[in-house]
Structure 1
């Protein structure tokens, strides 16, 4: 019989919740010494009996079974583990089964404890095996606490994660793409200094540009096959495909390194990084603890409108995007090497270009005593300049390169390297020293010989100093300061390769000296912050220099934030560009929108003023936008608008700029797809390492800190840009779950290897939410506190007042077992069937009678007869 009293459901659901709370409080009361809970308090009166509550007489009651729990070792989280709880005859609780392999993975010195070595795969008594050790479990929070004396633990750096926890992922195929296109119309060469190849009338016609970056790959076990290709078509209509890298890669955990076969880049910490095709084995700093990681470059610049920013490295286009007007920061560069100067080109909507070089070289790592860094490369030199010059075999020499670094005593580090090829040989020796309060410094000396056709051999030396320091007491951060001086005959491998194709009378502009400084300073708690970056590079035989100077100051007053930015850049073949910019920004009320005003003055006397409104909208800020109105004393008025939307299958970018006599429309798309055993899953841009989420039948569910990502109709999704060899927390937005979906583990932690597609399974149960009114054959409510189980023995709910029981994940029809004691007469079975309804409520209410089995009925009659 189905009741229609839906109005009482919230009250009865609350009563069931209170029942569980009371039982929990009773358990805690029983645990306290000398404290006894009076069970008469739970008498509800009337005809309803009370269950045997001895099952709940002890806190943290744990039934035998497997549980996914959070593990803390010595008060530090070490992630999640699947723990088997076994019944050891303890009436209070099932106990966690800890094995030797599990403890070894947690960093315990199992080899020094005989009890552990003899245990094999059996459960061990931790307190007996390791004196002073203990284990406890909080069943309410699914948290296992393990305490082990430090003397019994292996020594490892803070933040290190054992290789046994690394997940190589599943076999999968993937494609990551970035597309950006622009249509430019109008414009004038004479007024805007636009230079295009071909007919001069091209500037007054519509011009289209297109960039496509494709990263495809296949994962098979530990191996990763990758290809990065790009297509770039300029405004002159000329397009070119480039295969930047194609390689096969895997990690070598025993050597803390990566093996790469194919196209890649040599490490750039000692020698300048170069592209090659061959084989390389090198240490991977990503496998090291956080405290031993290096740093990556950040590119800053200023755009006058919706501009296209293109980044080239070693002649290849490695990044291209459109940015909104004003200052921009690129800190999400997808690196193709650990170093190598970056050439940045800012192309405005009216065709003007600004170019500068961002030096990118890493300070040689200071190593702990006894540790190593290494690389070994054998292959053929390659670059992306073959379209602008002849490309003979001599210009692509085969070479062997090796580097090694060793951490010595007294905080010294020694490093060395060599490059050997037919036209070029080089050797390098260096030393680094930790100066403690004064930072870290390194110095190295290189010698190189270069052979060229029909030219005398040249040789020379290069001396380099590098320095880095964070002065915490003063708020000063010197990220890197470096100086290099090279004699006239010194060449790098890249310069030596280019010399092979020089024609008669041509001269290679080899470097003479290079200076680089990058400093940031915090000016007290309310004084704001200032940063400065300076780079200069000079060449033999040329008076001009490549130079980049950037200085900025930022602060805020109440809700108003302001900044001043100065940029000066010059190169061998272009004019010096100077720019001074003031920016003011303030939020618009309590919204996620802001207004910004900028005024900038350029070296040619041009003054640009901009007023912008920008911000984010929609749930979890999936939509970002920027609307700008600008005025120039040389180019009159202009306006631009841009928007970016994150969907579950990718990102869409749109922009429009309109000025006096010209216009530009930009459109960008970025996303990815993963092919796996369960089919194909579309996704946002993938990055290098990712997780394939499987939450069966939980469609359209989001995830914390992943805007726009939602599961598809099968419950699959891809979470991108995970940190390799690090613990990554993946959490479901439980508010997105439907009325018929329950999830047992709303958060998971995964530790992927580099390039892996790890499988993250969320345990979901799909079913109805029911409020059952349970009674015996005489119509009396079943005992208060009785346990309701399904046919697999899983607890579904507890009987509350008036026999009401709230259960989730229920089937349309099922048979349940109800137990309120340990005897056969104190349990029964109930069958139910939910009738079909066109518009059913979230919680369905049913009434059902519980039936005794023959054995339980006989025992029940005997008990009644004795009474």
Structure 2
């Protein structure tokens, strides 16, 4: 019977095994701590209060001699020996936790005194100001095989790795650290990835029969990319096919992009879309340079006000929003400014408390409400586009020039402007956004001029946006907009359609042109246990007499125990101009208390003049990684007809498979589909059941079957490769491997890595592995006594392989049948011996048990 993987000791990391043994020695040292003496002092005398203990001595009477031999503890007089290897360590920088990182230690000048090697990634995580470092030192740091310690890079800095606690204590002078906002990742660490290509796909085939007529159709969507250096080529397209009617491929867009790090923006060449922040989104073919907010730290994205104040002493500033503490920091005496708050939806006023060192408290409120136009003070968002309008409904492509800019002017004022131009069209937009105690408001005016069919059109359009969270009542008017356009106003796309209509001889005055548009969304939580009310409204009317568009919705939701319910009423004006009133009741009930229990949903709907409909659905997930999802639905129409449907999706390690079947009165239909990604990288071709644009390809030689943490169902394939399909660009993503399912003779040297990819990058992460037969060796000297506890074990190449435990027991991984191992418990000629653990023949046991004699000499 195969042992449970979770109990197999050979799965433990070698970088975890060493500190474990060292921790035992450290524990022993603590047991004799009463015998610690400052170096150079006499036993029994008190050391001065200011004395620095440079070394300690252990009372080895607590060590039971094994065959007359005791381990030499002199190596531990200055702390646990630091042996070469890789350690997953907690980072403590100037007394504050700074996360975790993989730390490499190389051999030092003396046995057990390894050198902690620095990397650019570590220095960035420490918060070192790279601009203050010597250029020659930085160049040496990047040399292959280089191992520079922190004091060699940053004067007067310290870095001490405690292998027992797995903690790297770092001290850096304040003038060598940078002042950075929360969430900052140094652009030097943004990974452009490797040369690679990928193809994301979604294929669905449909079959339907109704009224004796059957039809078959298919649809294929493609998302392809190829990366070389910092240039990322992209293509999005779709293929539609109908039996008996042929097929048609549509090019959605094709472009190449490159990051412009210096301006925190991106260059796009080819077919893409404008952002739509100030003007309506337009498809274009041409060139665009635009800022990308994703390149900003999380605490600088979106809008949040700067909190300013004055502290009389070393004070503590606490900021609350809706009663929840969102920021807490110490400040020095004098004026302070907190400018790295994370944006929180559409806001909610901030309550600021300044607690002085003598206990005095002062509180004040900072208004906080946001609309999309608002930016933080000093922040800029921009775009510039030149090309042609890529509208497939047009027989020609009018030229397009567009430029926009937004600038945070003060803590509560953002100004913005934009221009659009073509051969016979021009428009100018100007506006401002304000954050006030009454809410956030933006107001802008667009003036447009167009020459169409020999006629002149000119007018203006005004837009107003408002947002506010009323804390007294909890009411959240998340967004309210109003636009009013004059009779002769036309936007860019409207002018292009009117020009197309004129060329075709149509009446351009009959074309639909909006006059005004208003939308409101409101969310109102009720007292605890009473649920919440939500409402929305949208209306739009037109200049040429077309009936007004109307859509209103009012709803209420709550829970009674595990049962959730909602009631909704809506009014919609249909395409025929008739008003339709709709009412809906929804109930959800989990069928069990387990997290993966199936869920039963019931809905009852009624429409004016349309009768009442009912629907019941049972849905859930199954499988170790929730790889199977399913749903069963039964419905009754307003005419009393009953129908049913089945649907499901199964996610394999390589692709996702979907299927559905439905049948009702006079009809039935079915569909089947596949979706996923194929990634070509330097190691070959890998598959993923997910689609994405920013990938990580994991490589762990021979570690087939290792699971990728935080991505259910993903694991390394038979060649040791795996694909993580979606990463957060410009952010540190930690990707870990679970070694529980890897082969018995393989050990992961590193299980976790961090990477900050650029948007669209395909990055390679290589996880070193160690192969060999795991073995527990009971080693004894020639006289039958165990090898002394705590002795160091090195392999034939001089690499550290572990430590001797109680009773002479050694855990090692044997390579190539098992070469000689050297045990050393002191520096004397008689304080070492050699073990020959050679194993003949193939071994099927995951853990080999051996008894060997350790020969002196």
Q: Answer yes or no: same fold by TM over 0.5.
A: yes
Aligned residue runs from structure 1 range 537-686, under 5 A: 537-570=540-573, 577-591=580-594, 592=596, 593-686=598-691
Once structures 1 and 2 are overlaid, which stretch shifts more, 568-577 or 50-59?
A: 568-577
- Displacement after TM superposition at 1:443 (Å): 1.1
User: Which residue pairs with 1:441 in the alignment?
Assistant: 441
User: Which residue pairs with 1:414 in the alignment?
Assistant: 415
CA distance in 2, matches of 1:235, 1:600: 36
CA distance in 1, matches of 2:574, 2:561: 41
User: Which residue pairs with 1:491 in the alignment?
Assistant: 490
Aligned 8 A contact 1:269 1:363 in 2: no
Residues 118 and 837 from structure 1, CA distance in 2 versus in 1: closer, same or farther, beyond 3 angstroms?
Answer: closer
Residues 40 and 619 from structure 1, CA distance in 2 versus in 1: closer, same or farther, beyond 3 angstroms?
Answer: farther
Aligned 8 A contact 2:83 2:800 in 1: no
- Displacement after TM superposition at 1:829 (Å): 2.4
1:731 partnered with 2:736: yes
CA distance in 1, matches of 2:834, 2:434: 76
User: Which residue pairs with 1:125 in the alignment?
Assistant: 151
CA distance in 1, matches of 2:846, 2:132: 58
SS in structure 2 opposite 1:802?
Answer: helix
SS in structure 1 opposite 2:74?
Answer: helix
Residues 688 and 21 from structure 1, CA distance in 2 versus in 1: closer, same or farther, beyond 3 angstroms?
Answer: same
Residues 433 and 97 from structure 1, CA distance in 2 versus in 1: closer, same or farther, beyond 3 angstroms?
Answer: same
Aligned residue runs from structure 1 range 459-470, under 5 A: 459-470=458-469
1:174 partnered with 2:179: no
CA distance in 1, matches of 2:78, 2:29: 5
User: Which residue pairs with 1:458 in the alignment?
Assistant: 457
SS in structure 2 opposite 1:710?
Answer: coil
1:847 partnered with 2:847: no
- Displacement after TM superposition at 1:157 (Å): 2.5
- Displacement after TM superposition at 1:116 (Å): 11
- Displacement after TM superposition at 1:734 (Å): 3.3
Aligned residue runs from structure 1 range 104-253, under 5 A: 107-109=127-129, 123-125=149-151, 129=155, 135-140=159-164, 142-148=166-172, 152-187=176-211, 204-233=212-241, 237=245, 239-253=247-261
Aligned 8 A contact 2:86 2:102 in 1: no
- Displacement after TM superposition at 1:509 (Å): 0.8
CA distance in 1, matches of 2:831, 2:290: 68
CA distance in 2, matches of 1:175, 1:752: 19
Aligned 8 A contact 2:210 2:668 in 1: yes
TM-superposition CA deviations, 1:581-601 (whole Å, max 9, x none): 222222222441222222222
- Displacement after TM superposition at 1:109 (Å): 4.0
Residues 179 and 138 from structure 1, CA distance in 2 versus in 1: closer, same or farther, beyond 3 angstroms?
Answer: farther
- Displacement after TM superposition at 1:294 (Å): 5.0
- Displacement after TM superposition at 1:368 (Å): 2.5
User: Which residue pairs with 1:190 in the alignment?
Assistant: none
Aligned 8 A contact 1:521 1:530 in 2: yes
SS in structure 1 opposite 2:191?
Answer: coil
1:772 partnered with 2:777: yes
- Displacement after TM superposition at 1:429 (Å): 0.7
2:721 to 716, 719, 737: 716
SS in structure 1 opposite 2:431?
Answer: strand
Aligned 8 A contact 1:115 1:129 in 2: no
- Displacement after TM superposition at 1:123 (Å): 4.2
- Displacement after TM superposition at 1:762 (Å): 1.8
User: Which residue pairs with 1:349 in the alignment?
Assistant: none
User: Which residue pairs with 1:333 in the alignment?
Assistant: none
TM-superposition CA deviations, 1:714-740 (whole Å, max 9, x none): 110110111101111212223333433
User: Which residue pairs with 1:756 in the alignment?
Assistant: 761
TM-score (norm 2): 0.80
Once structures 1 and 2 are overlaid, which stretch shifts more, 16-25 or 762-771?
A: 16-25
Instruction: List gaps (5 residues or longer) in structure 1.
Output: 1-8, 188-203, 296-361, 858-867
- Displacement after TM superposition at 1:128 (Å): 8.5
- Displacement after TM superposition at 1:261 (Å): 0.2
Aligned 8 A contact 2:98 2:125 in 1: no
Residues 666 and 758 from structure 1, CA distance in 2 versus in 1: closer, same or farther, beyond 3 angstroms?
Answer: same
Residues 772 and 134 from structure 1, CA distance in 2 versus in 1: closer, same or farther, beyond 3 angstroms?
Answer: closer
1:62 partnered with 2:82: yes
Number of positions where the alignment pairs a residue of Structure 1 with one of Structure 2: 747
Instruction: List gaps (5 residues or longer) in structure 2.
Output: 1-7, 38-55, 142-147, 304-369
User: Which residue pairs with 2:72 in the alignment?
Assistant: 52
Aligned 8 A contact 1:16 1:805 in 2: no
Aligned residue runs from structure 1 range 316-355, under 5 A: none
SS in structure 1 opposite 2:480?
Answer: strand
1:821 partnered with 2:823: no
SS in structure 1 opposite 2:837?
Answer: strand
Once structures 1 and 2 are overlaid, which stretch shifts more, 151-160 or 727-736?
A: 151-160
- Displacement after TM superposition at 1:72 (Å): 4.8
SS in structure 2 opposite 1:63?
Answer: coil
TM-score (norm 1): 0.79
CA distance in 1, matches of 2:470, 2:174: 32
1:518 to 499, 521, 528: 521
CA distance in 1, matches of 2:488, 2:699: 60
Residues 38 and 565 from structure 1, CA distance in 2 versus in 1: closer, same or farther, beyond 3 angstroms?
Answer: farther
CA distance in 2, matches of 1:830, 1:488: 95
Aligned 8 A contact 1:614 1:626 in 2: yes
2:696 to 668, 691, 697: 691
User: Which residue pairs with 2:358 in the alignment?
Assistant: none
Aligned 8 A contact 1:30 1:59 in 2: no
CA distance in 2, matches of 1:118, 1:795: 30
SS in structure 1 opposite 2:566?
Answer: strand
Residues 231 and 565 from structure 1, CA distance in 2 versus in 1: closer, same or farther, beyond 3 angstroms?
Answer: farther
Residues 791 and 472 from structure 1, CA distance in 2 versus in 1: closer, same or farther, beyond 3 angstroms?
Answer: farther
Aligned 8 A contact 1:86 1:96 in 2: no
CA distance in 2, matches of 1:250, 1:115: 27
Aligned 8 A contact 1:553 1:564 in 2: yes
TM-superposition CA deviations, 1:838-866 (whole Å, max 9, x none): 7x3321112222234xxxx3xxxxxxxxx
CA distance in 1, matches of 2:172, 2:470: 36
Aligned 8 A contact 1:27 1:57 in 2: no
- Displacement after TM superposition at 1:179 (Å): 1.4
